[in-house]
Amino acid sequence: MYISPLKIAAAGIVCMLTAGVAGAQEIRIGGGGAALSTVFAPMKEQFEKSSGDRLTLIQSLPLKGLIALERGELDAVTTTVPLTTIMAEAAKEGVAIDPASLQQQELGKNELVAFVHKSNRIKKLSKPQLKKIFTGKVTNWKEFGGADLPIIVVWGTETPGQNALFIKEILDGEQVTARAIKATDYQSIRELVKANPGSIGIDPRGMAIATVGRVDIPIVTAPIILITKGKPSAKVEKVLHFYNEEFGYFSR
């Protein structure tokens, strides 16, 4: 039976496409929103197009991420919270993790930014001014040359690493005002600030969008850590290599 060269070529293409789909891998990376939004979210689409693999990002509290890694539900977990702190929390939950079974490496830096409502005309806040705002000692923007408008502090309940860093570096250990509006995660903080004139909240730089205002604040950073069970798997290494090549930051 005669088969035309055109049909043979078409069949070859179908086989190659099928093989490509069959060989695709899923890489599951979980952890805090600060780390995911800074490192992996910006590269996700480009990596998937380039590799044919699927990069699945699962945002959660660092504790939940580490437990999921221990159970084999994730290939890696990212965090800005020190590993020793997360392991101590896991132990309280009855999950014992052998520290020798884990490897960690720094991927980059998370920088905190201050979001304000788009209508806010304040352009810069010093550390003493931020401290007065977030501890509730100053409650109106006019005190800093802004509009006669009450200050609404927005504070996340599911952003422990960010909260601890801000309290340590900016508030000098003092607690946030009890009048703060409670948000949940990073996106919730941003959306509440976006919707409420007079509001201010802290988020990772990776969460910045054009429809939310920002004010300049002192630089506050924390290392973004990648944690794996033992040595990173070949597929995790593939993601890290792509990140290093395309975004130019990766240290072992």
Give the pTM: 0.74
Q: What is the structure's pLDDT at 110?
A: 87
Q: What is the pLDDT of residue 4?
A: 53
Q: How confident is the model at residue 10 (pLDDT cuts 50, 70, 90)?
A: very low
Tell me if domain 26-110+223-247 and domain 111-222 are identical in fold.
Answer: yes
Is the sign of the CA dihedral 62, 67, 68, 69 positive or negative? positive
Looking at residue 60, what is its pLDDT? 87
pLDDT on residue 61: 85
pLDDT digits (tens, 9 = 90+) for 197-251: 999 999 998 889 999 999 999 999 989 999 999 999 999 999 999 998 887 654 4
Q: Answer whether 159's CB lies under 8 Å from 81's CB.
A: no
Question: Which fold, 111-222?
Answer: D-Maltodextrin-Binding Protein; domain 2 (3.40.190)
- Between CA 227 and CA 69 the distance in angstroms is 9
26-110+223-247 CATH fold: D-Maltodextrin-Binding Protein; domain 2 (3.40.190)
Q: Residue 167 contacts by C-beta under 8 Å, 6 or more apart in sequence?
A: 173, 174, 175, 176
CA torsion sign for 40, 160, 204, 59 is positive
